[in-house]
Amino acid sequence: MFNLMKTAVLMAAITALFMAIGSLIGGQQGMMLALIVALGMNFFSYWFSDKLVLKMYNAQEVDETSAPQFYRMVRDLAQRAQLPMPKVYLINEDAPNAFATGRNPEHAAVAATTGILRVLSERELRGVMAHELAHVRHRDILISTVSATMAGAISMLANFAMLFGGRDSEGRAHNPIVGLLVMFLAPIAASLIQMAISRAREFEADRGGAEISGDPHALAAALQKIHRYAQGIPLEAAERHPETAQMMIMNPLSAGGLRGLFSTHPSTEERVARLMAMAPAAA
């Protein structure tokens, strides 16, 4: 419940930021133009991102014949979550990771690397796939698309201001120093809020995954194991397409990078601690 409220507050904050920045540097017309362009870009992403990302990772669809144990596991978890059966994919990568995609539960897909199937136990793998199905149940693709739309519109407004200069609704030029500050700081603020939304959704997917699988310990152990392996085994597809790394259960590009406010995922330690705190109630 806390993470749902946090997401709602953050979504309200990024919307308010967009309206304030739009009014300040673009006026009413500039604000609407940036929003329309960002909506158009993200509409395509929302409807077709599943096909694009699966192609980027060369994911191969599997069924009960080609991957019987894995497919039956996902089917059982989907039934427990009261979700339609998603399409199931495998990615031929040694790095252990997984993600969910699709615009809604009726058009969802879950994918896992062959590496994660090798390094995790069956219990741990169930925890991971339950986490991904929690993303589907919570419609996190929609939430991330909306937040990306607002962040993209804010960045676009800043670019408009750089090219044409900031104007208010009556066409008057703003103070150039204030305009420069807004142009540089607004996209950063929007990105920080977008990342905070992503972290809140990961916590919520951990909670939901633990409830679906009924095994918080297993998901916690899986996260620890994935974190260890991620230090030494690169996920090559994510390195070629870094914009997709935020979709994974653990960011494969974060091992040596920025943490905290500039991370799309919470720290593994905090995720594990929250899951372990759930364990007595779930036992």
Model confidence at 138: pLDDT above 70: yes
User: Residue 184: what pLDDT?
Assistant: 74
Give mean pLDDT, residues 136-155. Answer: 77
User: Residue 85: what pLDDT?
Assistant: 98
DSSP 25: I
Query: Can you tell me which residue has the tokens 């969802």?
Result: 108
Are residues 22 and 34 in contact, defined by beta-carbon separation less than 8 angstroms? yes
**Helix 2-21 and helix 140-164, axial crossing angle in degrees, nearest 10:** 20
- For residue range 236-256, list pLDDT tens digits in order: 888 888 878 888 999 887 544
∠ Cα 20 25 31 (to 5°): 65
Q: Percent of the chain at pLDDT above 70?
A: 67
Which of the pair, 94 or 21, is modelled with greater confidence?
94
Contacts of 82 (CB under 8 A, 6+ apart): none
d(CA 196, CA 264): 7
Are residues 150 and 15 in contact, defined by beta-carbon separation less than 8 angstroms? yes
DSSP state string for 85-110:
PPEEEEE--SS--EEEE-SSGGG-EE
Beta bridge partners of 60: 90
User: Residue 20: what pLDDT?
Assistant: 66
d(CA 123, CA 30): 52
Model confidence at 157: pLDDT above 60: yes
- For residue range 45-89, list pLDDT tens digits in order: 667 778 888 999 999 999 999 999 999 999 999 999 999 999 999
Please provide the average confidence, as pLDDT, over all residues in the chain.
81
**Positive or negative torsion for Cα 68, 70, 73, 74:** negative
User: Residue 257: what pLDDT?
Assistant: 47
Residue 4: how many CB atoms within 10 A of its CB? 13
Which of the pair, 222 or 9, is modelled with greater confidence?
222
d(CA 215, CA 265): 21
Model confidence at 171: pLDDT above 90: no
CA-based R_g, the chain, Å = 20
Model confidence at 218: pLDDT above 80: yes
Question: Which CATH architecture fits 53-145+172-282?
Answer: 2-Layer Sandwich (3.30)
Which pLDDT band, with edges at 50, 70 and 90, does 258 fall under? Answer: very low
d(CA 18, CA 35): 9
| 64, 106, 122, 132: the active-site residue | 132
Active site residue 132: yes
